[in-house]
Structure 1
Amino acid sequence: MLSDPELRRLHWRAHHRGTREADMLIGGFFDAHHASWDSEERALFSDMLEEQDVDIMAWAIGTAEPPERFGGPMIDSLKRLDYIRIAR
């Protein structure tokens, strides 16, 4: 369980997006990467959570370009999609 209140808030927001697909993509991304984030990266992720799920998902799969403010390592990691668990 996360002890940091900010991380708990981000975790909840990342995992409760409204669709199962968005929960898996955005929540899975949070789970895989949050431990390495500094305060600036947390703030960037928080800002990204204010965007529409369809936009975030489009950035992840490469069908749309993210706004410049989101460009960089976080979006590069989001595009890898290696954090999504798929039942087989």
Structure 2
Amino acid sequence: MSQPPDIPTRLARLKFRAWHRGTREADYMIGGFFDRYHADWGEAEVAWFEALVDEEDVDILAWAFGTAPAPERFHGPLLDAFQRIDYVNI
């Protein structure tokens, strides 16, 4: 049975997924968040972000702006940071 990818490999994949969302706005928000915070992430944070980028961009952006409530599974310090980030000055 093969080993699951290690965190550096997962982070490399996530960087690509974060910056290639399909719209410039989503790329900047999700990719900018990734670039700012990923260096300090462990297993739990990587798993959280993997789940986040599986969601639709319109939903992720609504959660970031607080115009729609995020599902409970995303609540916590990472969502708080995602909602507070100054996207204009990334």
What's the TM-score once normalised by structure 1's chain length? 0.89
Bigger Rg, which one? 2
Displacement of 1:44: 0.7
Asked if 1:68 is matched to 2:72, the reply is yes
What's the TM-score once normalised by structure 2's chain length? 0.87
Question: What secondary structure is seen at the aligned counterpart in 2 of 1:23?
Answer: helix
Matched residue, 1:15: 19
Aligned length: 83
Cα RMSD of the aligned pairs, angstroms, is 1.4
Matched residue, 1:48: 52
Amino acid at match of 2:63: W
Percent same amino acid among aligned pairs? 55
2:82 pairs with 67, 78, 81, which one? 78
- Gaps of at least 5 residues in structure 1 are none
Displacement of 1:16: 0.2
Question: What secondary structure is seen at the aligned counterpart in 2 of 1:48?
Answer: helix
